[in-house]
Each structure stands twice: as structure tokens, then as C-alpha cells.
Structure 1
Amino acid sequence: MVPTAPASLPPLRQDLQLHAGPPDTGGAPSWVLHDPVAHRFFEISWPAFEILSRWSMRESKAIVADVCTRTTLHIGTEDIEELWRFLEQNFLLDQHGPEHTARLQRAGSMHRMGKLSWVLKHYLFFRVPLFRPTSLLNWLSPRMTWCFHPMFWKLLVFLGLAALVGVSFQWDAFVGTFVAYAGWTSVLGIVVSLGFAKVAHEMGHALAAHRHGCRVPQMGVAFMVMMPVLYTDTTDAWKLPSRKARMQIAAAGMATELMLAVVATWAWMWLPDGPARAGAFMLATTTWVLTLVVNLSPFMRFDGYYLLSDAAGISNLHERAFALGRWKLRRVLLGWSDPAPEELSRRATGLLIVFAYLTWIYRLVLFLGIAFLVYHLFFKALGLLLLAVELSWFVVMPVSRELSLWWQGRSNHRWTGASILSTAGLLLGVLALCVPWPRGVQAPAVLSAEQSQWLFAPMAAQIKQLDTRHGHSVSQGQTVIGLTSPDLEQRLAAASVRERSMQWKLAQQPLNADLLGLGPALREQWAAAKAELTGQMALRDQLEVRSGISGRVTRVAPGLQPGVWVRQGEPLVQVVADGPTRIDAYVVNEDMPQIQVGDTARFVPEDWRFSAVNCQVGSLDRVALPHLEHAFLGSPHGGPLPASVDAQGLTVPLHAVFRVRLDRCDGEAAAVLQEKPGVVVIGSSSRSVVGDWIGNAVDLWNRESGL
């Protein structure tokens, strides 16, 4: 039952303050009602202002008659009752007595949090005031008036454009600046510059608010999920009647950092290398870009939100957009015919609804990102707990509150076509998630020949002969590429001369007293020279690059032709043997229990021009792979398997991965000229999506918590 206003209206609180506000979207005047106790601001319309200015008359009929007589407005007692309910709900009336005290106690108990809720809320967000800047602003403001002069900003724009022109002449040095700074002194300069930029950002807000006559009660640091963020309390800006002035206060922080960026760009061009130049580079690039990216977003209550709110002339932008978004959602999904939360034009209503949905999507992505960042910042058990807290507070709780309202409102609404379709869709979705479906195990795989070989350059050499091309047949032992190395030929000639010289000396030893005195050592020297010659000749034989298998040439390194130099170890040609093929699937540890030898499998190549291949599981590795044989399946090379590259250049999987070998493939895999990546589906075990989620969550908890 909606309460009605009493015959004699209660008085207003004496401490309330009324300020002129900006015109609304229709051009009508508005006012701002300030509650100094709760430090809350309420924007009221022209009719509400006229009623409040006559509230001392205490009689609804008298107020209605006076407003209708003295103004062009036409109001009724229902307008006074609506305003009275608003004043009473927000405790703006001067009321006393047990009933009023009980209402205050109930309101306090509703907002009173338990110890656990208090801890969670203050973990997610809390403020630490550091100082009251009034004295500093009183001293600093007269000395900074030049910052607010239009001519200063015109000059700053000119200097910024000139700085960009100057940097363009040193662009290579500019973009390479950050990479060059790796010492601790440069890191110190970067940290100092970042801190200075953020302090200047907040001081810009404070100076702009002070210039417009607003009180700045405190400045400090706020912690959002334990991440420190400086803040300035400029709530008094709501008292300003000019939206332009509010926008200047909201934009002052970003404008300050842009000013610093221009100065820092000029400083970078003149400073020598060192910490100061590293800090100037950060101020000229990263700090203001990050500031614009974060603060210009209207989806969080940062500077961009207040700029958009004042530019559009819509106070409480988020709350009003969210109310319309929820109303539209209920109308579409449930068919509820409740009136809109407020009457706006069709275009404004549509824009606010779209804005609400974009904000929800943005916040969902942001909160999920923060949750997983927190998970990785702490040790795993605590990270999992904090991950659950983040997801519960920011995602699960808002959704559950809305669903609870839907459930509570079911008795006041009839079933409609929309609600029937939504309920059926929800049930089908839950059923699809919970019912086990025959899906099998999916894993990345590679189809290749049973035997293949890459031929590499044994040393740095020049191509002498190249008769083979892609698709040519070669036999085992056949020379595929002939190489020559002038350096090797020189060493071989020198070794041959030494060997012949030692052989001659050995033959002359019985006839020469000096050689005879060398004794058996001369024969050992000849043996060493002969071994060196044999080794050099073996190296020359390696320059004849031969195939170790019979097959066909499937790949030839680009640019190979006679006269081209190749480096040692450079891959030159790949030879694939004719005959059977193989398919290697890479299966994660969680899926291995579902695979048995003999299970059917189907390989689907990534290249749609090739047909799928039906096989069976031939063998299973019982030991996790130390590295991936097919490195291109690892994430460092764009593959699907999370991996890293070690010091030896091997691709090492980050989680346990096992190889499953498939055989007895059908005729489509008879001829493979090159490796074909794809996806294999093994078996047809039935699994539900929810079961997978629960299993993965349990495995994650057991693995990360050490249980």
C-alpha cells in the first residue's frame, strides 16, 4: 500500500541547502538539494522547487492553489504526495518520535554489514585520506591563474604540434628510447615520473574545483582490489549551476597530463641520456595515453563518466541507464508491461539502454580480468579464494539480485508469449549444459608421413649444384644438393701437403741423421697429419648432401640456387618417404583417462581443401612429453597448446601433454607431401558441459592448492 501525505506536512530539516542547478535536457530550470549530513545531492525539477519554497505553508491544498495561481505550472496534490514520499524516504524531513526513530534504526540495520561483508567490501574498495588541501590550494591558486587563460592553451597546442614535428626528425631514437633504458637509475626515473604525473593529475582536479568556488575537503589514495589509485574529493562540484564548469573540473586532470606530455617531449629532445630523459620519455608517451584510455571510459565512474553525464545533461547517468536497461530486459524476456522508470524521448531511451548494456559488458570483461589478475598475483590457494570472491561480488551477486526480483514479481504478472519463450529457452539451455552429450576428446594433431627427413647444411658453404625441385623423387643415398667451401678446400690442401711432407720425411728417416734422431715421434706426427687429412676429406664428403630415405622432395628452402651461400645448420630440403602415414595427437592430462587403444578417431585438417581421415588409436604415451615435436602447435608459435621456449629453443608445454599415435587410417591419408595440422576427435564418450566445468574447477583447486 502506497503511503499518503499527512494532512499537515512535517517541516523540512533546517540544515538542508538549495542551490541553482543547470537547465535540464528540455531547457527547464533545475535546482540541487544538498543534504550536508549524508553529503548527498539531489537534483529537483522546477515544480518540486516551487513546492519546496512553499513547504512552510504545511497544507497540500494551499500549496497547490498558490503554485497554480502565481506560476504557469499546473500541479495537484499527487505531486505533493510524491515529493513528500521522496523527502521521507531520504530522511530530509524534520521528524521526531518513536516511529521515526524506528525507521532510522531499520534503515541503519539494512545498511549495516556483517563482519565478513565488511571485510570483503573493504578488500574490494576503500579510501585512505592523506591530507586536507585547502591551505595549499589557497596559496597555489593565485599563482596558477595563467593555467586557466585561453591564450595559454592555444600556446600549448602550438608547442605540442611543434614538438611532434621535432620528434619526427628523431623518430628512430624516440621509439628506441624505452628499450635502451634498463638500469636501475632509469627505472627510478620512470617511477618518479609516473608518480609525479598522477599527483599532477589530481592537483589539476583540485585547482579547477577551487577556482570555481568548490570546497575540496580531502585528497588521498583509494585501493581498488588492492591496487592504489589517487583520488580528489570534488563532490561539491554538484553545487555548480554550470555544466561547463563541471566538465572543466572533470577534464582538468587529463588536461594537466597532456600539458606535462608537451613539456616532457621538449625535455626529451634537449636532455642527455639518463634517468631524467627516461622519465621525460614516460611522461611524453605512456602516462597520458594510459590516462586517456582509463579516464575517458564512461563505463566506470572516472572522469569520462562525469564528462559524458554533463555533456548529455543527464545526472546519475549509470543509475538511470541501468534502470531503463533492466526495464527493457524484463519487457523483452518476460513480457512485463510495467511503465518505463522515467519518461524520455524515444531516441534518448534507446541510447541509454544501449549504453547500459555496453557498460554491463565492459564491466563483466573488466571484472573478470581483474579477478584473474588477482589470481596470478598471489600464491595459488589465496589466488583461487580471491578469484572466487571477485566473481561472486561483481558477477554472481548482481545477476542473482535481478533474478530474485524476477521471481518476486511473478505473482503480479501473467504469463505472456515472451515469458513462455524465455522460460523454454532457459530450460533448454540448462538441459543442454547438464545433459551428457557424445562429444569425444578433441585435441590438436598433425598428419604426416611415417618417415620424413630435413636435410641441413653441415657448415657454412656455397651451393654448387641443385638439380632437385619440389615433387622430385629421390632414392636413399642420392646427392640432393652439392655444396662447396673454399675455406674447407684450403684446409684440405694444407692437410694434404702436411701429410705428404711427413710421409717423405718418414721415408728419408733411415738416410738422414737429423730425421733419425726424431725416432718414433716422426711416425706419430705422420699419423696425426694423415688423420687430419682423413677428417678434412670426410668433411668434404658431407658437402654432398644426400637423402637418408627414398621418397619425394616436399619442401625446398626459398631462394636456393647455385652460387647462394647458406649458413651452418640451415634447413635446405625436406624429403618425405612414400608409404604409410601417421597422426600424432597431443592430449592434455585431464582427457587421457577417456582414451583407450582401439578407440575410433577422426582427423579434420585445418585446410578445408583436404578431406577428414578416419583412424584408430594405436598407442598411448604413458609419460608426459618434455617438449613438443611439432613446435608450431605451441602458443609461442601461434598454436593452441600453452607452452614456452626454453634456452635450447625447444617448445616446452606448460601443462602435462601426452602423445597419442593413430594408425590404420583410411585411404585419404595414403599420400602426404607435407605435415598437415588439424584437430582430432577421439571416441564418443558422453560428457556434459557442467560436468566439465566442475571437473576442471576441482582439478584446478587440487593442483593449485597443493591438496
Structure 2
Amino acid sequence: MAPNATESLPPLRQDLQLHAGPTDAGGAPSWVLHDPVVHRFYEISWPAFEILSRWAMREPDAVVTDVCARTTLHIGREDIEELRAFLEQNFLLDQHGPGHTARLQRAGAMQRTGKLQWLLKHYLFFRVPLFRPTALLAWLSPKMTWCFHPVFWKLLVFLALAALVGVSFQWDAFVGTFVGYAGWTSALGILVSLGVAKIAHELGHALAAHRHGCRVPQMGVAFMIMMPVLYTDTTDAWKLPSRKARMQIAAAGVATELMLAVVATWAWMWLPDGPVRAGAFMLATTTWVLTLAVNLSPFMRFDGYYLLSDAVGIANLHERAFALGRWKLRRVLLGWCDPAPEDLGRRTTGFLIGFAYLTWIYRLVLFLGIAFLVYHLFFKALGLVLLAVELGWFVWRPISQELKQWWQGRSGHRWTRSSMLSTAGLLLALLALCVPWPGGVRAPAVLGADQSQWLYAPMAAQIKSLDTGYGQSVSQGQTVVALTSADLDQRLAAASVREQSMQWKLAQQPLNADLRGLGPALREQWAAAKAELSGQLALRDQLEVRAGISGRVMKVSPGLQPGVWVRRGEPLVQVVADGAARIDAYVVNEDMPRIQLGDAARFVPEDWRLPAVNCQVASLDRVALSHLEHAFLGSPHGGSLPASVDAQGLTVPLHAVFRVRLDRCDGEATPALQEKLGVVAIGATGRGVVGGWFRKAVELWNRESGL
């Protein structure tokens, strides 16, 4: 309810503080109103300052008359009522009574949250104050005045350029430094260097604030995703009238770390190898790069945000940009003709709208990353719950709130061309995401002959002869490679002598008393010698490496020629049978339900000069592969399937992968004597994108929760 025209202005709170502020974009002065109870600052305009200066008059008409008479401003009673509403809304008036008490109780109730809601808001980020640095800064500041002198920074720039020149002469050693560090001593040096960098960063903020006359009430440690980071409370910087001074305070932390990086680079060039040099290397490289990447980002409330806010002269940059971004979004998509939240000029408004959209995209990616990081940091059950909480609170909650505003405001706006076009586009997009589109299953595949055989060396031996070469035909049972082994020949000769000796003794046993004394044991010894001889003869037969199928020799191991030694199990020759081709496709688990026996498939070779091949699904593996038979399909060898290499050298897929065998290929695939890599498209049954996301989410939940 609007106040009565004759009602006097209520008194202001006596503890409020007013400070001179920077000039705005138009050159007009501004002031900062400080509420010490909640430690909050409000930037007010020149008209608001003139009204507050005369607030003690208590009569609105008298205030209007005096401002218009003594200044060049032209204000009206509505300006006073607008300022009064602002003061009342933020509890800056000295009011009493049941109505005011009820308002305070309602505001307190709105700010109070339940234990669960408080935990959801604060478990990812909370602060722990450690100490009050006022005495330390008072002692340290006079001793660090040289850090703020322009000559020092000019000298530092010169030293930085000289350090870069020096490092360029030792570039190979500099790049390979971190790889050479190992052990707990180097790790200790790295941890100490990180701690020194972050302490120096916060001291830089504190010293800069103290130099400009700001109070630094506390320093401490904040926990972000349970990772400790130091912080410094420099909120009093809002009292400064100079934006340049505030920017110096915001940039002091990064500047301090860059100074450390220059000093550490010189230290690295002169120090011997060891933990101290490892720490200097970290200070010279990683620490300041991470600081620039994190602290200078304007999309979160870090140093970069306050630097940008002061650089463009816009306080509450995020809130004002978001308000304009939402206004523009509703105007374009829904055709709403509501006035802009504020008139800042075309150029500034466009900048803030673009900044809002970039911030939203950045935060979406960041919160998604945090959600999955939290999921991996905790055990499965808690990780899944926290993942759902992160996605719901930080991603879905703001989106749902905006959609709620759209729904609530539908009655106050009419359908326009923009709203109809955006609604139609939204419906088409949802339809495209939900409707299964034809396209089938795509998977990496290998085209080869239906039958092929690798011939391996049965033992360590020397090649005696190579009876065939590349492309030559061989028949089943034909010797392809003849091997010889002097060690096997010796063992065979010794086994033959033992067998003949035992056979002679067995023949002489009836005539020799000593041999008769051995009894049946002599025959058993002869049987063992005979078995040993048979085994050696069998091994000699294996030295004749024969083809198990009829076909052509398509691969010969490099360097294979008579006289060359080969180890046991070494591949020698591949024989590929003439005839039909087959294709092995490697399909991930989620696509297996979409494939049926007899489905049509089309293989497209990686080599664009080769023709495509049409086949049919012949068989489906029901058990996931323990390793990839065609290792080159795995990611460690440049393939598309995520995999790793185990201790035995096998390529093991990281996710469940099944083999799908294709046959009945057309005539183009008949001479498939060499394996060809490509992609196969199986069937024509597609699926919607939303359905795929939902199935993946359900599979993830079931797999990780153990249901």
C-alpha cells in the first residue's frame, strides 16, 4: 500500500554509513551505502544521495522542493517513494511496531533453511575463518611498500623477459624437468610450493586492501568439493571511491603469483636437482597458469568477476546481466513485450546479454563436471545420490524456475508471431529428440575371409626352408615352412640310443642273472624310453609346419628366410582360404537389443577406393569379449573402442563389447584375402535421443547401485 501524501518520512537507522563512490558511465557521481549489520553495500545514484542528505526534513514535499532549488536535478515525489520502498525492503529504516516486527520475522523465516537444505547448499562450499590479520598487515605493510612502486614492476617485467631468454637456452631440460621428478622428496617440494603460492596470493589481496585503507576482518580456508583453498575477506573494498583501487586489490593475488613465477624461474636456472628445484619449477609453471585459468574467469565470483565489474563500471554484474538475459530470452522466444529491467544503452545491454548467455553455458558445463566429480569421489551409493542432487539443484532447479515464470505469465501476454514460431520450433525439437529415427546400429568392423589360419613356430628353431611365398597357393597338409633344431636332434638321438639299449637288455633278460633280477621293472623302463622316443619324433614332425586349410599365403613375417632363428609361438605365415568373406562387427552393450539374426547390414571400408559390401547378421555373441581379437580397433592403437592394454599385452575393452558375425556377403567381398577396417550399419531400426539418454541413465543407476 502506498504511503499517505501527508505522511512523514520514517527515520533512517543511525548505524548506516555513507561513502563516496566512483562515477558512473555517464560521469555522474555515485555513493555507497553500507549496512554494517549484514555487512552489505548498496551503490546509490546522485538523486538518491541528495534525497538521503535531506531525509531529516521528514516531509517529502520539502525534500523535493529543496533538491530542485539547490541542485540541477529535477525529481518528483515518486522518486522519494521509490527510494523509501528500497530502504524499507532492505530494513534500512528505523521502524518499530508489530507490523515491522512481523516483516522481520517473515524475512528471517524465508532465509532460514532446514538442515537438509542447508547441507545441500553448503556441503560443496563452506568457509572456516582462521585468524584476524590486522596486526600482521600493520607490521608487514611498511616493509612491503617497494612492491607497490612502479619501478619495481618495470624491473620485474625486464627480469621476466630475461628469464624467458635464459629458459629458451635450456628448453629441453625445462620441458623434461617434471618427468624426471619422482619420490616423496620431490612431492614434498611440490606441495610446499603450492602452499607458498596460495598463501602469497591471499597476502597480495590483503596487503593491497590494507594499503588502500580497507579493513581485512579475516583470512581463512574455504572447502570447495572438499578441497581446501585459502580466502581473504576484502569486502570493505566497496567503500573505495576509485574503481582503479578496487581493481588493484582484485588483481593483487594474480600479480603476486606472477612475481613468484619470475623469481622461481630464475631459481630453477641456478638450483641443483632436488626437491627445492622441483618446487621452483612448479611455481614457475603450473601454479600461475592454474591461477589465471580459475581466478581470472568472470563467470564465477572470483577475482576476474570483480575486475570485469569495475572495468565496465557495472556493480552486481551477474544479477543485472541475468535479468537482461532472461528478458531477452522471453522477448525472442515468447514474444513478451515487457520493458527491459533497466536502460543501459544499446551497446551495454547487448554486452550484458551476451555475457549472461556465456555465463550460463560456462556454469552448465562446470556444474555437470562437478556433479560427475562428486559421483566419483564418494562410494557408489552416496555418489549416485550426490550426482542426482547436483543435477537437480544446480542444473534442473534454475531451468524449472524459469519455466515456471513462463507458465505463470502466460495469462498476461498474447500469442505473437515470435511465440508461435518458438513454440513450434520447441515442439519440433522435442519430437526430433523423442521419435526414433531410422538409421540402425553403427559399429567398427573388420572384413576378412571366412577361413584363415596363422602358422606358428612350435618351438625355438631355425628355418630350414621356406617352401612358399606371398600370394602362392597351398593345399591342406602341405609343408609351408620347414624348421630344424640341433637341440631336438641331439635329444632325439639320445632317446633313440636309450630305447635301443633298453630293448637289447629286455631281449637278454632270460640269459642274464643280473637282468632277471630287475624283473618287470626292466619292461617298464623300456616302455618309458619308447614313449620318450615317440615324443621326440612327434616334435620333429612338428618342425614341418603344414597348412591346415587350402588357400593362399597372404602374410609372411618380416625377415623370414632360411637360416633365421624364430622363438616359440612366433607367427610365421598366414594362410587365407579362397571363397566367401565374413565380417566381424564389435557392438557395444546398449545397441545389442536392436540387432536380430538375419538383419541386413552394409559394410563401408575405411579405404574410400573400395566398394561397400552388403551382408546379413549370422550370429550374435551372448558373452562380452574378454579382449579384442582385432587389437587395432582399441583406443590404445588408434581405434574407436575405449580400451586398455593389460599385463599380458591384450587389448581389453573398457565397456561391454560383443562380436556380431556377418556373412552371406555379396560378390564384391569374395576376394577378401586381406583384412579391411571399416564401419558397418546394421538394420534400420533407430531410437530417439531422449530414449537413449533415459536408458543410459537407468543402466548406470542399476549397474552402480547393484540392483
Same fold per superposition (TM over 0.5): yes
**1:127 equivalent in alignment to 2:127:** yes
Kindly indicate whether the alpha-carbon contact (under 8 Å) linking 2:549 and 2:577 is maintained by their aligned counterparts in 1. no
Residues 114-146 of structure 1: per-residue CA shift (max 9 Å, x gap): 221111011122111111111111111111111
**1:30 equivalent in alignment to 2:22:** no
Partner of 1:393: 393
Indicate the SS of the match to 1:73: coil
Partner of 1:520: none
Q: What is the CA distance between 1:216 and its match in structure 2?
A: 0.6
Partner of 1:358: 358
User: What amino acid is aligned across from residue 444 of structure 2 in structure 1?
Assistant: P
User: What amino acid is aligned across from residue 136 of structure 1 in structure 2?
Assistant: L
Counterparts of 1:615 and 1:85, CA distance in 2: 77
Change beyond 3 A, Cα 1:286–1:672? same
User: What amino acid is aligned across from residue 9 of structure 1 in structure 2?
Assistant: L
For 1:81-92, list aligned pairs within 5 A: 81-92=81-92
Counterparts of 1:354 and 1:650, CA distance in 2: 50
- Which is worse superposed, 226-235 or 593-602? 593-602
User: What amino acid is aligned across from residue 265 of structure 1 in structure 2?
Assistant: T
- Which is worse superposed, 1-10 or 319-328? 1-10
Partner of 1:650: 650
Change beyond 3 A, Cα 1:619–1:561? closer
Partner of 1:269: 269
Partner of 2:279: 279
Q: What is the CA distance between 1:445 and its match in structure 2?
A: 2.3
Indicate the SS of the match to 2:397: helix
Change beyond 3 A, Cα 1:445–1:93? same
For 1:280-359, list aligned pairs within 5 A: 280-359=280-359
User: What amino acid is aligned across from residue 299 of structure 2 in structure 1?
Assistant: F
Kindly indicate whether the alpha-carbon contact (under 8 Å) linking 2:469 and 2:553 is maintained by their aligned counterparts in 1. no
User: What amino acid is aligned across from residue 603 of structure 1 in structure 2?
Assistant: F
Partner of 2:405: 405
Kindly indicate whether the alpha-carbon contact (under 8 Å) linking 1:479 and 1:547 is maintained by their aligned counterparts in 2. no
Counterparts of 1:207 and 1:388, CA distance in 2: 42
- Which is worse superposed, 106-115 or 546-555? 546-555
Percentage identity across paired residues of the two chains? 78
Counterparts of 2:541 and 2:168, CA distance in 1: 57
Counterparts of 1:75 and 1:475, CA distance in 2: 105
Kindly indicate whether the alpha-carbon contact (under 8 Å) linking 1:492 and 1:536 is maintained by their aligned counterparts in 2. no
Q: What is the CA distance between 1:640 and its match in structure 2?
A: 3.1
Indicate the SS of the match to 2:7: coil
User: What amino acid is aligned across from residue 60 of structure 1 in structure 2?
Assistant: P
Unaligned runs of 5+ in 2: 498-531
Q: What is the CA distance between 1:389 and its match in structure 2?
A: 1.1
Partner of 1:203: 203
Partner of 1:519: none
Counterparts of 1:5 and 1:201, CA distance in 2: 55
User: What amino acid is aligned across from residue 365 of structure 2 in structure 1?
Assistant: V
Q: What is the CA distance between 1:424 and its match in structure 2?
A: 2.2
Partner of 1:222: 222
Partner of 1:418: 418
Counterparts of 1:466 and 1:257, CA distance in 2: 72
Q: What is the CA distance between 1:250 and its match in structure 2?
A: 0.7
Counterparts of 2:422 and 2:565, CA distance in 1: 66
Change beyond 3 A, Cα 1:57–1:627? same
**1:623 equivalent in alignment to 2:623:** yes
Q: What is the CA distance between 1:336 and its match in structure 2?
A: 0.6
Partner of 1:233: 233
Kindly indicate whether the alpha-carbon contact (under 8 Å) linking 1:197 and 1:287 is maintained by their aligned counterparts in 2. yes
Partner of 2:56: 56
Change beyond 3 A, Cα 1:104–1:613? farther
Residues 349-378 of structure 1: per-residue CA shift (max 9 Å, x gap): 111111111111111111111111111121
User: What amino acid is aligned across from residue 692 of structure 1 in structure 2?
Assistant: G
Counterparts of 2:32 and 2:439, CA distance in 1: 61
Change beyond 3 A, Cα 1:364–1:482? farther
For 1:684-703, list aligned pairs within 5 A: 684-685=684-685, 687-703=687-703
User: What amino acid is aligned across from residue 614 of structure 2 in structure 1?
Assistant: N
Partner of 2:95: 95
Q: What is the CA distance between 1:612 and its match in structure 2?
A: 4.1
- Which is worse superposed, 422-431 or 7-16? 422-431
Kindly indicate whether the alpha-carbon contact (under 8 Å) linking 1:381 and 1:701 is maintained by their aligned counterparts in 2. no
Q: What is the CA distance between 1:2 and its match in structure 2?
A: 7.2
Partner of 1:667: 667
Change beyond 3 A, Cα 1:570–1:156? farther
**1:72 equivalent in alignment to 2:108:** no
Counterparts of 1:152 and 1:536, CA distance in 2: 85
User: What amino acid is aligned across from residue 231 of structure 1 in structure 2?
Assistant: Y
Q: What is the CA distance between 1:552 and its match in structure 2?
A: 7.2
Counterparts of 2:652 and 2:214, CA distance in 1: 60
Counterparts of 2:221 and 2:365, CA distance in 1: 25
Counterparts of 2:102 and 2:411, CA distance in 1: 30
Residues 261-285 of structure 1: per-residue CA shift (max 9 Å, x gap): 1111122222222111111111111
**1:596 equivalent in alignment to 2:592:** no
Partner of 1:189: 189
Change beyond 3 A, Cα 1:547–1:282? farther
- Which is worse superposed, 333-342 or 667-676? 667-676
User: What amino acid is aligned across from residue 97 of structure 1 in structure 2?
Assistant: G
Change beyond 3 A, Cα 1:55–1:619? same
Counterparts of 2:389 and 2:230, CA distance in 1: 24
Indicate the SS of the match to 2:603: strand
User: What amino acid is aligned across from residue 269 of structure 2 in structure 1?
Assistant: M
Counterparts of 2:462 and 2:270, CA distance in 1: 49
Counterparts of 2:282 and 2:620, CA distance in 1: 53
Partner of 2:11: 11
Partner of 2:508: none
Q: What is the CA distance between 1:330 and its match in structure 2?
A: 0.5
Partner of 1:510: none
Residues 13-66 of structure 1: per-residue CA shift (max 9 Å, x gap): 111111111111122211111111111111111111111111112222222222
Counterparts of 1:47 and 1:475, CA distance in 2: 101
Kindly indicate whether the alpha-carbon contact (under 8 Å) linking 2:580 and 2:665 is maintained by their aligned counterparts in 1. no
Change beyond 3 A, Cα 1:637–1:389? farther
Kindly indicate whether the alpha-carbon contact (under 8 Å) linking 1:16 and 1:36 is maintained by their aligned counterparts in 2. yes
Indicate the SS of the match to 1:217: coil
Kindly indicate whether the alpha-carbon contact (under 8 Å) linking 1:243 and 1:311 is maintained by their aligned counterparts in 2. yes
User: What amino acid is aligned across from residue 644 of structure 1 in structure 2?
Assistant: S
Residues 502-535 of structure 1: per-residue CA shift (max 9 Å, x gap): x9xxxxxxxxxxxxxxxxxxxxxxxx9xx99x99
Partner of 2:514: none
Kindly indicate whether the alpha-carbon contact (under 8 Å) linking 1:202 and 1:253 is maintained by their aligned counterparts in 2. yes
Partner of 1:162: 162
Q: What is the CA distance between 1:460 and its match in structure 2?
A: 12
Q: What is the CA distance between 1:252 and its match in structure 2?
A: 0.8
Q: What is the CA distance between 1:637 and its match in structure 2?
A: 3.0
Indicate the SS of the match to 2:579: coil
Indicate the SS of the match to 1:216: coil
Counterparts of 2:383 and 2:644, CA distance in 1: 23
Indicate the SS of the match to 1:108: helix
Unaligned runs of 5+ in 1: 504-527
Counterparts of 1:329 and 1:461, CA distance in 2: 78
Indicate the SS of the match to 1:338: coil
Residues 563-607 of structure 1: per-residue CA shift (max 9 Å, x gap): xx9998999997765432211122233333443322333334445
Q: What is the CA distance between 1:638 and its match in structure 2?
A: 3.7
User: What amino acid is aligned across from residue 699 of structure 1 in structure 2?
Assistant: E
Change beyond 3 A, Cα 1:317–1:4? farther
> Following superposition, which runs of at least 4 residues in structure 1 exceed 6 angstroms of deviation?
1-6, 453-462, 464-469, 476-483, 534-539, 545-549, 554-557, 565-575
Kindly indicate whether the alpha-carbon contact (under 8 Å) linking 1:474 and 1:547 is maintained by their aligned counterparts in 2. no
TM-score, with structure 1 as normaliser: 0.85
Partner of 1:149: 149
Indicate the SS of the match to 2:123: helix
Kindly indicate whether the alpha-carbon contact (under 8 Å) linking 1:555 and 1:575 is maintained by their aligned counterparts in 2. no
User: What amino acid is aligned across from residue 640 of structure 2 in structure 1?
Assistant: P
Kindly indicate whether the alpha-carbon contact (under 8 Å) linking 2:553 and 2:573 is maintained by their aligned counterparts in 1. no
Counterparts of 2:570 and 2:299, CA distance in 1: 53
Change beyond 3 A, Cα 1:598–1:104? same
Indicate the SS of the match to 1:690: helix
User: What amino acid is aligned across from residue 334 of structure 1 in structure 2?
Assistant: L
User: What amino acid is aligned across from residue 640 of structure 1 in structure 2?
Assistant: S
Residues 164-220 of structure 1: per-residue CA shift (max 9 Å, x gap): 222222222221111111101111111111111111111111111111111111111
For 1:559-598, list aligned pairs within 5 A: 577-598=577-598
User: What amino acid is aligned across from residue 241 of structure 2 in structure 1?
Assistant: P
Counterparts of 1:228 and 1:589, CA distance in 2: 40
User: What amino acid is aligned across from residue 259 of structure 2 in structure 1?
Assistant: M
Q: What is the CA distance between 1:682 and its match in structure 2?
A: 3.0
